[in-house]
Amino acid sequence: MSAVDEVKQLIRERDLSGITQKFRESGLDKQVSSWISKGENLPVVGDQIKKALGSDVVAGIAAKLGITTSEAADELADAVPGVVDEMTPDGELPPRNGS
């Protein structure tokens, strides 16, 4: 598994709208909007990932990947913008699961 695979799994489990809402609530509204839109993806850093997803989530992914929590946060920071962008090719969030 890679960080990209872990992000995709997390989104499948928690819903893309829910994940992006967590990022927005942690002060990353501009970044999230850039990932969903058709323009350039604004970056995030590991500490922002930990704040948005929670240290427990990042630690769990780190354990799966066999790396430190800091390394996992940095890898997730690299992966999240691209995965969200890939999952929103039309520049819009898909309807929520079960909607």
* CATH number for 65: 1.10.10.690
Range of the domain at 39: 3-87
Direct distance between the N- and C-terminal alpha carbons of the chain, in angstroms, rounded to an integer: 30
pLDDT digits (tens, 9 = 90+) for 72-94: 999 999 999 999 999 998 888 87
Is residue 11 included in any domain, yes or no? yes
Domain count, the chain: 1
Query: Which backbone phi and psi does 53 adopt, to 5 degrees?
Result: -90, -25
Is residue 93 included in any domain, yes or no? no
pLDDT digits (tens, 9 = 90+) for 45-67: 999 999 999 999 999 999 999 99
Is residue 97 included in any domain, yes or no? no
Which amino acid is located at 42 in the chain?
L
Is residue 18 included in any domain, yes or no? yes
What pTM was estimated for this model as a whole? Answer: 0.90
Is residue 95 included in any domain, yes or no? no
The 3-state DSSP class for residue 4 equals helix
